[in-house]
Structure 1
């Protein structure tokens, strides 16, 4: 898990720094697709079903519309292409770690997994960054440190909840990751509410409707199919 933290975050942030924002959002938004493929390769019970593929296609389409409504797409230089590859690499690292947590860590407290992987991985990343970025001393106001502490706590808590869900019996990694399509939806809504000058765009709204609708239909169909499967057994 420490190795996953190192690979994921180093590739993720370097990659985002190289690509336009809209394109980066779409590549990051492809995480459920990458996870579905990786999970199918690593776990016999993780199948790429027709319903799952259709939901992923609609989800990625929604992410594209949300991103297009906020910023024009552009990919022209070799460095931007490298950024895309790096973000995809980060997605693969995250998907692999999700499957490993689901298969190998049951019985281990998710708080321990989250704290150890983020704490140790973060410390190593910081030490590696010193010769690359250098050390910059700057006086920060108390609000900065309070915000940093709050964000650190919320990130660790969110990871713990995520790992707990991955460890639950019967939870499929690929299906759980479909909920990540909600991230750009929540991000768009929060930006409209909190960021001055951010207003709803029709493309963004349509993308949000597509994502929400596809997730609702997928999980409603799954709930209807579950009783039938139990009856057959």
Structure 2
């Protein structure tokens, strides 16, 4: 079975889309657990930057190995494309994960899983101004209202309508979503003529180098303590990134974006549930459940029957 036939088979598409979304959802408890296992301070920005850089550097190497030895595809790209991939790496890996890693360290896994979905809604807003054939309609407006209302509700505290919001926590996660949306627009253009695995591998590689070059010289000697469990979590995080992003890019290359992006609601759902299961002390409040439902409805609404836009963010 050739690649196109495999990635257009209806049953295969559903299975692969669900696998990608559950993998992304698992990132939230995995990263929160990693911070604890590494003994990483919540306010240590450099440690988060280096850890993110290590994750995506390993992920890129895994992808390059698959490309060269299994897919038999060259790693070479034209100079102009490499420059675009560097820009994509700065957005999708360097800047996005600077905000994401530091934001997640200062909030709960459940809130992180729900807030991370805001990138989907930012993409819809940006697409209205970038693409002439992807303008606002009633379904998108309803989806955006539902999604942003869910984002608002997840920040409501236990005592009622008092917001639990911090710039370094929830604020950074919202910034990560905004950066991801800009990266999505750029990724759509690049992926038209470049192998999806190559796009993913190069943007991760280049973006991770920027993170490591920025964070490592400023890293304190005792900022991270790598135990066997910590190494295992790091390699799993790298694996999930390499696998999920590559498969998702490939699905989007051979299928209508709206049909695939409908499954993105699984990311906050699986992320929230896995956080409850694996992170001590994390519980779904009534506000969080309603927020999760609103965000899921919003993601489905804004993507339903959309034909042109590729949505590639999460965690």
Q: Is the 8 A contact 1:23 1:73 kept in 2?
A: no
Counterparts in 2 of 1:203 and 1:137: CA distance versus 1, 3 Å = closer
**1: CA distance, partners of 2:274 / 2:148:** 20
Which residue, out of 126, 130, 135, partners 1:38? 126
Counterparts in 2 of 1:54 and 1:126: CA distance versus 1, 3 Å = same
The more displaced of 162-171 and 34-43 is: 162-171
Report the equivalent of 1:144: 230
Instruction: Report SS of the residue matched to 1:164.
Output: helix
Which residue, out of 274, 280, 289, partners 1:190? 274
Q: TM-score if structure 2 supplies the norm length?
A: 0.55
Q: How far does residue 163 in structure 1 lie from its aligned partner after superposition?
A: 2.2
Report the equivalent of 2:144: 56
Check if 1:3 corresponds to 2:90: yes
Q: Is the 8 A contact 1:2 1:121 kept in 2?
A: yes
Total equivalences in the alignment: 215
Which residue, out of 163, 183, 208, partners 1:73? 163
Q: How far does residue 132 in structure 1 lie from its aligned partner after superposition?
A: 2.8
Q: Is the 8 A contact 1:34 1:92 kept in 2?
A: yes
Instruction: Report SS of the residue matched to 1:68.
Output: coil
Report the equivalent of 1:202: 286
Q: Is the 8 A contact 2:96 2:180 kept in 1?
A: yes
**1: CA distance, partners of 2:104 / 2:266:** 20
Query: What CA RMSD, in Å, does the superposition of the two structures yield over aligned residues?
Result: 3.7
Equivalent residues in 2 for 1:1-233, closer than 5 Å: 1-4=88-91, 5-14=93-102, 28-68=116-156, 73-75=163-165, 80=167, 84=171, 87-136=173-222, 140-168=226-254, 170-171=256-257, 180-214=264-298, 222=305
Q: Is the 8 A contact 2:103 2:173 kept in 1?
A: yes
Counterparts in 2 of 1:82 and 1:70: CA distance versus 1, 3 Å = closer
Identify unmatched segments of 5+ residues in structure 2.
Answer: 1-87, 307-315
Instruction: Report SS of the residue matched to 1:46.
Output: coil
Q: Is the 8 A contact 1:15 1:83 kept in 2?
A: yes
| 1:143-167 deviation digits (Å, cap 9, x = unpaired) | 2212211110111111112322443
Q: Is the 8 A contact 2:150 2:295 kept in 1?
A: yes
Counterparts in 2 of 1:128 and 1:49: CA distance versus 1, 3 Å = same
Q: Is the 8 A contact 1:182 1:211 kept in 2?
A: no
Q: TM-score if structure 1 supplies the norm length?
A: 0.71
Q: How far does residue 98 in structure 1 lie from its aligned partner after superposition?
A: 1.2
Counterparts in 2 of 1:47 and 1:178: CA distance versus 1, 3 Å = farther
**1: CA distance, partners of 2:137 / 2:295:** 18
Q: Is the 8 A contact 2:276 2:283 kept in 1?
A: yes
Q: Is the 8 A contact 1:110 1:163 kept in 2?
A: yes
**2: CA distance, partners of 1:137 / 1:65:** 34
Q: Is the 8 A contact 2:150 2:291 kept in 1?
A: yes
Q: How far does residue 56 in structure 1 lie from its aligned partner after superposition?
A: 1.9
